[in-house]
Amino acid sequence: MGLISRTSLLARIRRGKKARAQLVESNLSEGIAFQIRATREAQNMTQAELASAIGMSQNNLSRLENPEYGKQTISSLKRIAEYLDVAVVVRFIPFSQYVDWISGTEYLDRGLRPEALAVRTYEEEERTGALERSIRYWPVLDGKQDDARQLQPVRDYDAGRGIGFYAEQKFEAPAKGMGAEPYPMGGLTSQPEQDQMRAS
C-alpha cells in the first residue's frame, strides 16, 4: 500500500456512492491485512506462532493476512490486538477525514468528543465545502496582552462556526476589522469557513 494524493482521492469519491463504498472496502480489507502481517513481523513472530498463541489455525491467520480476503471479524482482530499488545479501533468517520488519512494529510482528530460522534454524510460535507480545504494560520490573542499575538493552527470540521480547535485549547476566529488575514501555512479550514470568519 502507498499514499494516494488528496486530489486523486477527491476525484474518486465524487464519482458516486458506489465508488466511495468500493474505496472504503478496498482500503479496509488491504489495510487490516497488511497491518497484521507487518506488526507480527516487527515482533519477529511467524504465522504459526501467532496463530497458536491466539488459538487459531495457521490457515485462518493466513487468510486474515491476505489483502483479498476482506472477511476479518472484530472478534478476531481483538484477539490479535491483545496478543500483539496494540489497540484496535473501529469507528465511522466523515469522508473529509478519511481522505486526509489515506493521503497522509495532517488533520485534527476530535476523538470521542460528543460533537464528533454523529458523523456527517458525504453530501453534507460536499454541500458545506468541508472537502475543500486550504492550509491557513490565523493570528489570535494569547489572552495576556491585547497587542501580544501568536500564530495558532486552526482546523474546524464544523463548517461556518468560526471557531478553531487545536489540541485541548479553543481559539476564537479573528474579529472583523482587526486586520487579521489568514497566513498560507499550518492548520486547515475550508473557503466557506474563512469567508464566514471574516464576516463574523
**pLDDT tens series, the chain, 200 aa:** 557 888 899 999 999 999 999 999 999 989 999 999 999 999 999 999 999 999 999 999 999 999 999 899 999 999 999 999 999 999 999 999 999 988 888 877 878 888 778 999 999 999 988 888 644 334 444 444 333 334 444 444 344 333 343 333 333 344 444 333 333 333 344 445 445 544 54
SS3 call for 16:
coil
Domains and CATH numbers, the chain: 6-84 (1.10.260.40), 95-199 (no CATH)
Whether the Cβ atoms of residue 131 and residue 96 lie closer than 8 Å to each other: yes
* Burial class (CB within 10 angstroms; exposed 0-12, middle 13-18, buried 19+) of 61: buried
* Burial class (CB within 10 angstroms; exposed 0-12, middle 13-18, buried 19+) of 7: exposed
pLDDT at 109: 80
pLDDT at 2: 57
pLDDT at 199: 54
Give CA–CA dist 198/190, Å, rounded: 13
Q: What is the crossing angle of helices 6-13 and 17-42, to 10°?
A: 140
Q: What is the DSSP letter of 119?
A: P
pLDDT at 191: 47
Give CA–CA dist 154/187, Å, rounded: 5
∠ CA 90-8-162, nearest 5°, is: 70
pLDDT at 106: 81
